[in-house]
Structure 1
Amino acid sequence: MAEINIEKKKKSMWPWLILLLVIIALIVWALYEMTNEPDEVEYQEAPATGMVIPADTQLASPTLTQV
């Protein structure tokens, strides 16, 4: 009787490599977010538009009261 050599297929390493790269990317991102100091200033109110109107003239303006 003849012998039949059966070889098992080698599993691909690509899925494991991609998974490892994703995990490393997540770890690097998490470390960056934890160690990054915010340089941005958070505003409590809307920034000024550059237009300055004194409060006294706005209330006493005849055009605003006649509308």
Structure 2
Amino acid sequence: KDWENIVTCCISCNRRKGGRTPHQAGMRLVRPPRRPERAPAIRITVGLRNAPESWRDYLYWNVELDDS
């Protein structure tokens, strides 16, 4: 996979960038993109038990979800 097209930003910057690349939007990255470490991703998933219903289609789940 190519991690050079995946970045994180605040809501305001994300709206400003829209569907364009940062270069097309006249924005620059604070630091070069890098492949994320595996451990932080694992720690994040532990806290997703109470994720909003609207997020479910966008999150990776390694178990079947209960509809209750």
User: Which of the five TM-score ranges fits, normalised by the shorter chain?
Assistant: under 0.3
Structure with larger Rg? 1
When normalised by structure 1's length, the TM-score is: 0.19
Ranked by relative contact order (alpha carbons within 8 Å, sequence separation 6 or more), the top structure is 2
When normalised by structure 2's length, the TM-score is: 0.19
Which structure: greater helix fraction?
1
